[in-house]
């Protein structure tokens, strides 16, 4: 029995499609498992924001926990926020958190000076300061 070219092409295309589907399912399963392991416990979602009761920044495994707590302030990239009683932020001491787990260093402009800060470092903001996140958005806790 002899196979013609169309039959051979059809078998090859079917084999390639089968391999692509198997690889896609394996990749999606791997990503779903990784995402499940990275979820923070006891997270409550209210009005589209994630809250956790824990004030810890790093989990027991050493992973960064970047969910929002009450009182956290999110600074958008390249947006200016004024510090003062009747402005965006109150003066005081804040902890800088990076929402991106792969980014340990963050550039922040306070008034006219840009400085590099590390994740989980503290910062003191005075009345009248203007703060903006230069490299990426950040969370102030």
Q: Write the CATH number for 123.
A: 2.60.120
Does residue 76 share a domain with residue 18? no
pLDDT at position 20 is 96
pLDDT digit string, tens, across residues 29-74: 988 877 665 555 566 666 555 555 655 555 555 555 556 666 678 8
Does residue 123 share a domain with residue 77? yes
Does residue 131 share a domain with residue 87? yes
pTM attached to this predicted model: 0.52
Does residue 18 share a domain with residue 74? no
CB pairs under 8 A, 24+ apart, for 85-93? Answer: 85/127, 89/125, 89/131, 89/140, 91/125, 91/126, 91/127, 91/129, 92/124, 92/125, 93/122, 93/123, 93/124, 93/125
* Residue 51 falls inside a structural domain: no
Range of the domain at 23: 1-37
The structural domain count of the chain equals 2
pLDDT at position 21 is 96
**Residue 108 reports pLDDT greater than 80:** yes
* Residue 42 falls inside a structural domain: no
């Amino acid at each position: 029995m002899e196979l013609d070219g169309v039959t051979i092409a059809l078998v090859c295309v079917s084999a390639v499609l089968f391999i692509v589907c198997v690889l896609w399912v394996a990749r999606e399963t791997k990503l779903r498992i990784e995402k499940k392991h990275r979820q923070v416990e006891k997270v409550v979602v209210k009005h589209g924001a994630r809250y956790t009761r824990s004030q810890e920044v790093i989990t027991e495994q050493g992973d960064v926990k970047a969910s929002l707590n009450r009182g956290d302030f999110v600074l958008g990239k390249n947006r200016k926020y004024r510090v003062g009683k009747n402005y965006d932020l109150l003066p005081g001491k804040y902890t800088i958190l990076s929402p991106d787990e792969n980014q340990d260093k963050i550039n922040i402009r306070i008034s006219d000076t840009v400085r590099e800060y590390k994740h989980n470092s503290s910062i003191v903001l005075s009345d009248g300061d203007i703060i903006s996140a230069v490299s990426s958005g950040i969370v102030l806790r």
